[in-house]
Chains A and B, each alone.
Chain A
Amino acid sequence: MKKILFFFFLFVTLAGVSSCDLFLEMPEVTGSVYKEDVFSNRKDTEGMLWRAYHRGLREGLPEGWAINHGTLASLSGEITRGYSWHAGYNLVVNGPSTVLDASGQFQGAPANFNENWEVIRACWLIIQNIDSCPELSAEMKEYMKGEAYGLIAYRYMGMFQRWGGVPIVRQANNMSDNIQFPRATAKETLDFTLEMINEAYTRLPDTWFDIEPGCGDKWEGRLTKGAALAMKARVLTFASRPLFNATQPYTREFGIPFQGDENLIWLGGYDEQRYKDAIAAHLALIDWGKAHGKHLIFTAGEGNRNTFEQAIEDYGNGVSQLNGPEIILAFKIESDQQVYNNMTEGYNWSAYVDAGERSQRGVLTNFVRLYRDVDGGEIDWPTTEEDAPRPISDFAANIDKIEPRFRVDICVPGKFGRSNDGDSNWNDAIWYMGSLTSDAAIAASMARAIEGRSIGVPTKFYYKAGARRWFEFPLFRLAENYLNLAEAYNETGDTENALKYLNIIRNRAGLPSVSETDKAKLRELIVREKALECFEENQRYFDVKHWKHPDIGTKILGGPKTEISFLCIDNNNTMAGLVSYWDAYSYTAYWHPKWFLEPFRQDEVNKGIIVQNPGY
């Protein structure tokens, strides 16, 4: 009987063990971090923010989201389409698509809508939880909240440009929330973006230099008040442009059927005040810059015209100098070697390293024609209409008189580039700088371009880089603001100010001033200047769409593309080795007015909550 009692008690004890539930408390689990841990220390809390920076700012760059292989410059007719496996190539040939590709990735549009939200939610998580982190000072917490708001704003700004109205998310994710809500209107999206920018602006510091005693430049590269102002200026510029700021949405204008609410893709009407708001925002940034060491590098000074050499030096430094005076925010190429490889060696930028894929990112002749000679005159380039290749002396003469920005940005055979004078790495005879052939029959036929390297390859962002292979892609550079100001002043009829800001950029680039007063003609001058000044800076792709530029489908995004090719007797890139050159048809790029806005992924639309953009 004792035994029975004993076992009875054992049974009860066993039951008791579990009734307090301790036994089933989760045992230790390896290799994980809890939310409470993350926000209990500075390193992990910062880690949340680094991840948001990492993902948030690389959008639109090679290896960043849907554009993966390729660059926006390929889409906007600046450089060639790249290799056939590049996402950019496919977009150029077939246009955007809403479905996944063969490998299960989404590369059907230049951006993947899905990728925005991890960043946005993570930023909200920071905003909601950072106050509990004991290792951060109250000031630093505010700065970091500002950064989180800023990154939310950056993503919303990007979404506004690409898709119009998108759903508005105001908190970190939580499974028990209502998580099915539709797209907001374009206006609501704009207002929300501005709200986030304002939240960021009030919290961010003017500079990160020495923000903590003795930290020096350790934190340079994070968002500042200037970045918030730059975002505001850019988003207001896009709000003011004809795609959204118009008497009717583009769907009606181009006859694209759309069942959804037009307010998703349009601001509901034209309002000149939007240009004025943009002007104020740009001026605010320029003023802020003056007070905080951010300004255009302009040796001759406003009202004067740089010499050729001054222009080379100023423009080169302006776009390339790390954390330079013109750079408000740059994408810091990460510690991730793969991203670095893809961005610098693989796709369009660094020509320094002889990477295999460099040979597919020459500059299209269509774009080359935009450059003028040093005195602002047009340059006579070969056309596809001509019967025979031109002698190479004609090429040499053209390069000798072309404007400084071309020489900094593009490295051509025989003449090299001016980005790294005297550095043998950058003027190497074994480089393949242009589309060369030694086959006279090909030259004689002129039938089709030798696709890939064209007239030459880009070296932008590497001015005086020397042995530095990496670079920092400028996300906001002050030159943009000068030209956007010129645009907005012109649209509001303030020709004087429009010319002022346009000419600052022209003079800085060593070109003479213009004095055009006809609104439409001046607009085209500004458009052309923006293309050259912001070559490869991911501006043109968005600009021409939001301008609804009349040539977008025939000459810019879409239409036939031509490339220059050379006949040579050797591949040494010497003038002596070149014989002749000609322009030839290469390919015809896709355009359809539906592409004014980008599509959402079909699988997202299939969930039945959000409305697809028109035409997809």
Chain B
Amino acid sequence: MKTQSTFKAIAAALALAGSSLPVYSQDNANFTASLAGRLPGLTVITRDAIPGSGSARMLIRGIGSYAESPDVNTLKIYVDGFEVKSDYIDYISAEEIESVQILKDASELALYGMNGANGVIYITTKRGSVGAPKINFRSSGGVSTPINVVKPLGSYDYARLYNQAWANDNGREWDPYYDLDAMNAYKNGTGVDVDWYDEVFRSAAPYADANLSIRGGSELAKYNVVLDYANQQGFLNVRNTDRTHNASFAKYGVRTNLDMKLNQILTVSMDLGGRLEDRARPNYSLYSLVNDVMSYPSNIYPIFDELSTDPIINLSGTAVHPNNPVGSLIGLGWTTSRTKVMQANFKFKEDLSSLLEGLYLQEGFSFYSKTIGNTAKTSTYARYIGGVPQTADVSTYLRSQGYWSSGKERWMQGNVILGWNGKMDENVFDAQLSAHISDFNGTGSQFYNWKYRYINYAGRLAWIYDDRIDAALGFSLFGSDAYAPGHRYVFYPTVSLGWKLTDDVKLRASAGLTGATEAYVGIEGLETDGRYLYKQYYTWTGSFVTGMGPNFGGGVSGIRPLYSGSEDLTAERSLKANVGADARFFEGKLNLTADYFLDLRTGILTLDRTLMDYYGAKTAYTNLGRMLNHGLDASLVWTDKKGEFSYSLFSNILFARNTVLEMGEVGPKYPYNAVTGHPYGSRMGLECVGFYELKDFDLDGELQMTEAIPLFGSVQPGDLKYKDQDGDGYIDDTDIVWLGNPSYPMLTVDFGGQAEWLGFDLSVLFTSSFGSTVNLLDYSAWKPFLNYGTAFEWAKGAWAYYPEAQVDTRKSATFPRLTTGQNDHNYRSSSFWVKNNNYLRLKNLELGYTLKFAGSGVEKLRVYLSGQNLFTVSTLLWKYKMDPETVNYGYPAARSVCAGVQISF
């Protein structure tokens, strides 16, 4: 299915060779994360540094459709011509890979039809080559350390601020919750003051990996075999024993690619790439654990209850704070999972040159499978305070929980390709017709998308004249089971042109249609991913009781339509246009590739909010959405050599800006309230103009008549003050305005270089990102004391005025007045909470030295030192202590350094 070489000539794709991939990036061992900064047009947003975590968020040329999901990648991934889930490449070894290619414009995506709209990552694995066996061995080891950590306040500061919050919530009268004795105890260290963060996290985690590959073959048989191993430990402060387990990840990979030439006509390829992934962690969700650490106050209880006589374990705990973070590490046992993932491909290629020069036929079959099996050893622990159990839990000894599975997937694909590479005088032709059939069968956990199928008939004809002008036509006739008969097949044509102005400058242009099936947004709670909405389903819900008695739990269940089905629904459509140029300057030292792209989406599956209420179904979907995404991507490479010193510098730049043209938004009261017309995911909210001051209130504590009345609950001095945009005297939803960009960047600039000198080599990669924002309200750390939570240092800047307690921050306040509970007025999207996120990061630095051994068995030996995330420049980090890439306060981001050795025989 992949576009062939001549076709590539007029496409914008730049392939990333496997050899230029980082061998292993310890800050995030996930392969998808290691693509960051290395492919023009691809944006990679790392999620977290938990060992064995899932795919990074990957976007090709920004976001073209709001039917995407921050949690699921909508781009498609192909390995050797067959589609795979991103799980498959998450922990694939760089050693297995020949090239990674980003297919992003219409000409490259011509054959992908309904799989093409959001772009394709195309991976080709390494194959054997004719020659003596080449053996490569590589091994490395290192440590990761948490970076950009922010910890909650200690007990004294916590209590001091809690007293303010308490007074604020109780009529602004100073009546401290923590009295002087308690405060003194916290101050002099006799009170309870547990640094949960330090108890739960350690300051370094080890990592090791190794792989071995053997390549070689003859004209008749070629082979490439790769063995791969890695082991990474997490940051949890707990040892791996029979009772406890750190978060950890290990993988065992194997790949065998074989090519056999059976006769003059027939070549057979057999590829098998599979992996075991072992994950282990304490028997408590890491996300919950991190959440507990970041929200349990320091003074709730000591870790252990000294008065408890429990024979097993004497952990503290209360009903309000039941999950003692240390208890979650040592008191609950541990759980492991083993993922088995495999792709097996068989291909037959017939060389039909006997019929027509350059004619060939190829048949392929791919079998993809994934299963996840789990085991656990669990225990529970009683929660004590002063020797008295606080909850119903009792301490138990470790107990094995047997085996269970949490997923199975099977994916069968087949394809047939009839192709012709021909040449007539000055004309070169490359033609291909293909059929691709796919049958996915997943797990039942995802309710609606556990089975789906498609058929793709595709073809293209490329023509090159005199090596100067090229043109290509392509099409896909793509059928998906997601839609009703009559709407299943969609035809997607593309056209592209190229013109070599001079030997050094080439211009390109392409335009065409592609589509997308999945729609992750707007299918609230239905999990259909946009499929099968033509069928009218019903669901059980609500119940009614008849007869003469109470019937709690025994009523007769009701039933209602799950949503409003429509047979008219079809796939989202993308019209892509691209103009670009490839140029060389300075005798080929400077290579430039630049493209302007445009992507107009129509028919985005959308919850139709404009339907009148009396339609009577809240969930009715139509293909009404439209979006426009356009921008520029460019790649610059400078290569030069001076004597023994050779070097190259490169930069990838992507600017992408989208606009929602139509998303079924109900026309708001004022144009400035509308989300439509802004980039998808824009931050909307109120404009904060400061804090309410004492003078804004009369003697009864009511707002002065001159002040607009906020409708989100009563306010008091120190609350956020919002601008009444429409001047109607009320602060409400009609005062909402556009506040800032979405959470994904508008501009990414990645740059770096390589240099070699007398056996030494150095490579550097910087990534930078601009034009995204975070909303601090998405993080509980910015809502002090909420849900019996703790507070962070920024709470110290809270507005407060209690002269009787010598508290007066009226002039210097940087945070609204504190409260112990939810505050619907302050805790709502406003310009106070939306912050820009721009950053520059030294992503990778590697220094190596290579020894060559002429004539001996060892061809070369390279030793290297490598570091990731060595430094970061970011306002978000500086002002709000948040890692700008993982954008959370949870499991820490990591910096890692490692040393390694590579030997080739």
Question: Do A and B come from the same complex?
Answer: yes
Residues A27 and B451 in contact, CB atoms below 8 Å apart: yes
Residues A217 and B547 in contact, CB atoms below 8 Å apart: yes
Instruction: Verify if A121 is at the interface (C-beta below 8 Å from B).
Output: yes
Residues B543 and A54 in contact, CB atoms below 8 Å apart: yes
Residues A114 and B613 in contact, CB atoms below 8 Å apart: yes
Q: Within 8 Å CB of A323, what residues of B?
A: 548
Residues B559 and A10 in contact, CB atoms below 8 Å apart: no
Residues A25 and B824 in contact, CB atoms below 8 Å apart: no
Q: Within 8 Å CB of A337, what residues of B?
A: 552-553
Q: Within 8 Å CB of A603, what residues of B?
A: 609, 666
Residues B435 and A47 in contact, CB atoms below 8 Å apart: no
Q: Within 8 Å CB of B733, what residues of A?
A: 99-100
| With A15-B435, A47-B540 as contacts: A335 and B545 at CB distance below 8 Å | yes
**Choice from A26, A120, A122, A176 contacting B560 with Cβ under 8 Å:** A122
User: How far in angstroms is the closest Cβ of chain A from B530?
Assistant: 13
| With A24-B480, A48-B558, A117-B613 as contacts: A30 and B450 at CB distance below 8 Å | yes
CA distance A334 to B479 in the complex (A): 46
Q: Within 8 Å CB of A602, what residues of B?
A: 669
Q: Within 8 Å CB of A114, what residues of B?
A: 613, 618
Per DSSP, chain A at the interface is loop
Interface window among B121-129, B280-288, B452-460? B452-460
Instruction: Verify if A50 is at the interface (C-beta below 8 Å from B).
Output: yes
Tell me the B109-159 residues at the A interface (CB within 8 Å). Answer: none
What 1/0 flags go to A111-122 for Cβ under 8 Å of B?
A: 001101110111
Instruction: Verify if A340 is at the interface (C-beta below 8 Å from B).
Output: yes
Nearest A residue to B620 by beta-carbon distance? Answer: A175
Q: Within 8 Å CB of B614, what residues of A?
A: 116-117, 120, 166-167, 169, 179
Q: Within 8 Å CB of B448, what residues of A?
A: 29-30, 32
Residues A48 and B667 in contact, CB atoms below 8 Å apart: no
Residues B437 and A335 in contact, CB atoms below 8 Å apart: no
User: How far in angstroms is the closest Cβ of chain B from A25?
Assistant: 7
Residues B444 and A30 in contact, CB atoms below 8 Å apart: yes
User: How far in angstroms is the closest Cβ of chain A from B620?
Assistant: 6
Nearest B residue to A44 by beta-carbon distance? Answer: B559
Nearest A residue to B416 by beta-carbon distance? Answer: A11
Residues A15 and B457 in contact, CB atoms below 8 Å apart: yes
Q: Within 8 Å CB of A48, what residues of B?
A: 538, 558-560
**Choice from A4, A14, A175 contacting B568 with Cβ under 8 Å:** A175
What 1/0 flags go to A1-45 for Cβ under 8 Å of B?
A: 001100100110011011001011111111111110110000010
CA distance A33 to B565 in the complex (A): 13
User: How far in angstroms is the closest Cβ of chain A from B840?
Assistant: 37
Residues A334 and B544 in contact, CB atoms below 8 Å apart: yes
What 1/0 flags go to A157-178 for Cβ under 8 Å of B?
A: 0000000001101000101100
Nearest A residue to B355 by beta-carbon distance? Answer: A4
Q: Within 8 Å CB of B667, what residues of A?
A: 606-608
Interface window among A219-227, A288-296, A362-370? A219-227
CA distance A607 to B610 in the complex (A): 6
CA distance A155 to B572 in the complex (A): 38
Residues B546 and A220 in contact, CB atoms below 8 Å apart: yes
Nearest B residue to A118 by beta-carbon distance? Answer: B616
Residues B558 and A173 in contact, CB atoms below 8 Å apart: no
CA distance A167 to B614 in the complex (A): 7
CA distance A180 to B611 in the complex (A): 8
Residues A54 and B544 in contact, CB atoms below 8 Å apart: yes
Q: Within 8 Å CB of B539, what residues of A?
A: 32-33
Residues A173 and B616 in contact, CB atoms below 8 Å apart: yes
CA distance A334 to B734 in the complex (A): 38
Nearest A residue to B354 by beta-carbon distance? Answer: A1
Residues A27 and B618 in contact, CB atoms below 8 Å apart: no
Interface centre among B414, B418, B613, B668 (most CB of A within 10 A): B613
**Choice from B435, B454, B543, B732 contacting A99 with Cβ under 8 Å:** B732
User: How far in angstroms is the closest Cβ of chain A from B456?
Assistant: 10
Instruction: Verify if B828 is at the interface (C-beta below 8 Å from A).
Output: yes
| With A50-B544, A334-B542 as contacts: A33 and B559 at CB distance below 8 Å | yes
CA distance A47 to B612 in the complex (A): 26
**Choice from A24, A50, A113, A610 contacting B479 with Cβ under 8 Å:** A24
Residues B547 and A117 in contact, CB atoms below 8 Å apart: no
User: How far in angstroms is the closest Cβ of chain A from B529?
Assistant: 12
Residues on A lying within 8 angstroms of B by beta carbon are 3-4, 7, 10-11, 14-15, 17-18, 21, 23-35, 37-38, 44, 46-55, 94, 97, 99-103, 113-114, 116-118, 120-122, 125, 166-167, 169, 173, 175-176, 179-180, 208, 217-222, 322-323, 332-337, 340, 468, 470, 601-604, 606-610
Q: Give 26 pairs: A residue, B residue, CB < 8 Å, sorted on A.
A: A3-B265, A4-B350, A7-B363, A10-B416, A14-B414, A18-B437, A25-B481, A27-B452, A28-B451, A44-B559, A46-B556, A48-B558, A51-B544, A53-B544, A55-B542, A97-B732, A102-B712, A116-B614, A166-B614, A175-B622, A217-B547, A218-B547, A335-B545, A335-B554, A336-B542, A603-B666
Contacts A30-B447, A35-B536, A117-B614 known; list 20 others, CB within 8 Å: A3-B265, A18-B437, A23-B437, A24-B481, A32-B539, A32-B562, A38-B559, A51-B559, A54-B543, A102-B828, A116-B614, A117-B616, A120-B616, A180-B612, A217-B547, A218-B547, A334-B555, A335-B553, A604-B612, A606-B668
A-B pairs, 4 with minimum CB distance? A335-B555, A51-B558, A121-B616, A47-B559
